Structure 1
Amino acid sequence: MAYTSNNNNVIPIIDPSQDPTSPYYVHPSDNPGMKLVSLKFDGNSYADCKRSLLLNLIAKNKIGFVDGFIIKSPLNDATYKTCDQYNSMMNYWILKVLDQDIARSVLYYTTTRDIWVNLEERFGQASGTTLYEIKQSLNEIKQANDNISGFYTKIKMLWDQFDSVDSVPVCNCTNCNCGLTTKLMKSKEDGRVIDFLMKLNEGYEMLRGSILIMSPLPSISHVYRLIVQEENHKKIYQGSQGNPDQPMAFAANRRFTQDRFKQQFSRKSQGSDPRKRTSSFYCEHCKIPGHNVQRC
């Protein structure tokens, strides 16, 4: 830590590499061997890899090295050494995420910003093939054997991928109050609500009809909660109807009742009146003597 004087007051100059709020701060856990993302990027699912990297860099306060906000310091600048150190470390972090062939293609770029721009130009641009693949997957996906949570996770991943390559246009007019972007977002969400309901298995017809008559349609997150509640209700109902212990309990209760009636009849039949010791009545329904079917 260095010091400078101002009007006879000594003011400490904090080294940016020791200031936790500085993008040049070097955390003790930061090292070239660190893996920001567990999976290797091989040219597929660039949007997922990009999002994972951005989240890690934002958390480390290093996003400025990627978006161009932080430029390389000149040689005579006090931050040059620290900036160059972290820039080289971040280059290595990104290279560890890339497949070997892709890593070789960006190995000799000087700054992290140069590597990022090159990857964005090569893999980040939306193409007709990418849109076609995502739309085809959305058309073919069904709930099938998945529960509601698993199915929603799958279809939402496809929606997120589609948004990454075909985002909703934003109005940039000065002092604009037309709400065009909000209307477009609502239209897209309504379409996804209908798409989600269409791909559910049989058994949700009543709830689906109740949702579709709502005006305006609820959000997709609200629809998801309603469907999950309906799924849980079905599980509880089916569990109570298909309880294998119920028939056994019923049979055991019936045997207990039969034995009790037999004991009562046996005691009555041993009375003093000989005419009451036997009976011609026998119930074919419960197999207990002493009464007929009409009195069972």
Structure 2
Amino acid sequence: MNRPPRGNRGGEVIVLVEDNTSPYYLHASDNPSLQLVPHLLIGSNYINWSRSVVTALIAKNKLSFVNGSLPRPLIDDLLSPSWIRCNSMVISWLRNSVSPQICPSIMYIEDAHELWLDLRDRFSQIDSARSYQLKQQLMFLTQGSSNVNTYFTNLRIVWDEFKHSQPLAWCTCTTCRCDSASK
């Protein structure tokens, strides 16, 4: 009887081939030339791009490769070849989702989590000119001759970009009492 390969992760047995809920599962339509999102990362669009990529990776059950929650197994682990294959697939998808100007700078990063962190560190910082521009847009946005829905949609677009471009406050206590996460 031919049984699908299995791996062991923290006492949990994982079926690699047929379990479509496993992060190691690759659908027949998953291929390295796939472009996850319709717009490429050009730098200034990092916030919207990263949100789109995260949504696509969640849909493909591969977010754990970029958020670091599925670290590389030891080389002798049965899951190691599958992890390498899926990690390589995610790296291909990410490379296909960035502009031709950015792609060469990530070509030699071989871990999807490291690649994701590299892009985040480089492009998540909003420049002061863009921050000022967004503040100005918020201050001077008026309904004018637009209907309420159009006005609200325009306001929401600018506000969401501004809100998500602000730096996060990091908690420095061991058991958070400073409430920096909600700030």
Normalised TM-score (structure 1): 0.52
Q: What residue identity is the alignment partner of 2:18?
A: Q
1:80 lines up with 2:98 in the alignment: no
Residue 15 of structure 1: aligned partner: 15
Q: What residue identity is the alignment partner of 1:79?
A: L
Q: In 1, Cα distance between the equivalents of 2:131 and 2:5? A: 58
Residue 54 of structure 1: aligned partner: 54
1:130 partner SS: helix
Residue 10 of structure 2: aligned partner: none
Q: In 2, Cα distance between the equivalents of 1:161 and 1:61? A: 26
Q: Select the structure of larger CA radius of gyration.
A: 1
Residue 111 of structure 1: aligned partner: 111
Residue 157 of structure 1: aligned partner: 157
Residue 122 of structure 1: aligned partner: 122
Q: What residue identity is the alignment partner of 2:80?
A: Y
**Per-residue deviation, 1:58:** 1.4
Deviations 1:58-81 (A, max 9, x none): 122211111111112232111111
- Any conservation in 1 of the 2:4–2:16 contact (CA below 8 Å)? no
Give the structure with the larger helix fraction. Answer: 1
Q: What residue identity is the alignment partner of 1:28?
A: A
Deviations 1:76-102 (A, max 9, x none): 111111111111111111111110010
Q: What residue identity is the alignment partner of 1:43?
A: G
- Any conservation in 2 of the 1:143–1:151 contact (CA below 8 Å)? yes
Residue 251 of structure 1: aligned partner: none
- Any conservation in 2 of the 1:40–1:99 contact (CA below 8 Å)? yes
The root-mean-square deviation of aligned C-alpha atoms, in Å, is 2.8
Q: In 2, Cα distance between the equivalents of 1:3 and 1:35? A: 29
Q: In 1, Cα distance between the equivalents of 2:142 and 2:5? A: 66
Gaps of 5+ in 2: 7-12
Residue 146 of structure 1: aligned partner: 146
**Per-residue deviation, 1:160:** 0.8
- Any conservation in 2 of the 1:37–1:52 contact (CA below 8 Å)? yes
Q: What residue identity is the alignment partner of 2:65?
A: F
Residue 9 of structure 2: aligned partner: none
1:98 partner SS: coil
Residue 135 of structure 2: aligned partner: 135
Q: Aligned pair in 2 of structure 1 residues 3, 146: CA closer, same or farther (>3 Å)? A: closer
**Per-residue deviation, 1:142:** 2.3
- Any conservation in 2 of the 1:2–1:14 contact (CA below 8 Å)? no
Q: In 2, Cα distance between the equivalents of 1:127 and 1:105? A: 20
Gaps of 5+ in 1: 5-12, 185-296
Identity of aligned residues (%): 30
Greater relative contact order: 1 or 2 (C-alpha under 8 angstroms, separation 6 or more)? 2
- Any conservation in 2 of the 1:17–1:82 contact (CA below 8 Å)? no
Q: In 2, Cα distance between the equivalents of 1:3 and 1:144? A: 63
Normalised TM-score (structure 2): 0.81
**Per-residue deviation, 1:162:** 1.2
Q: In 2, Cα distance between the equivalents of 1:53 and 1:3? A: 30
Residue 196 of structure 1: aligned partner: none
Q: What residue identity is the alignment partner of 2:20?
A: P
Q: In 2, Cα distance between the equivalents of 1:80 and 1:174? A: 35
Q: Aligned pair in 2 of structure 1 residues 149, 82: CA closer, same or farther (>3 Å)? A: same
Residue 34 of structure 1: aligned partner: 34
Q: Aligned pair in 2 of structure 1 residues 41, 153: CA closer, same or farther (>3 Å)? A: same
**Per-residue deviation, 1:111:** 0.9
Greater alpha carbon shift after TM alignment, 42-51 vs 127-136: 127-136
